[in-house]
Amino acid sequence: MFNTIIDTIQNGKKQFVSTFVTDTKLKTDLEKLVDAQTKFAKGQVETTLSIAEAFATYSKDAYAKAIAKAGV
């Protein structure tokens, strides 16, 4: 889901560059920049989701241990 959103935005940037930038070297450099931004954004999402998943798992396990300890 997040990758689809990122790809949509980044493809819009590439389309803008392709449409309005006429200098070939600048166009190539901007496309490389957009590709780097895409890779970075996807990496950030992956890292954030991994942290959230680890936190949720840890919280669930800690809660289960607390319930077991309390004898409920």
Q: Indicate the pTM of the whole model.
A: 0.78
34-54 pLDDT, tens digit per residue, is 999 999 999 999 999 999 999
Domain enclosing residue 32, as ranges: 2-70
Secondary structure (DSSP) of 21-58: ---HHHHHHHHHHHHHHHHHHHHHHHHHHHHHHHHHHH
Give the span between the Cα atoms of 37 and 42, in whole angstroms: 9
Q: How many CA atoms lie within 13 A of 62 on its CB side?
A: 6
User: Residues 6 or more apart from 27 whose CB is under 8 A from it?
Assistant: 17, 18, 21
What are the 10-residue block averages of pLDDT along the chain, 72 residues in total?
A: 96 97 97 98 98 96 91 76
Number of structural domains in the chain: 1
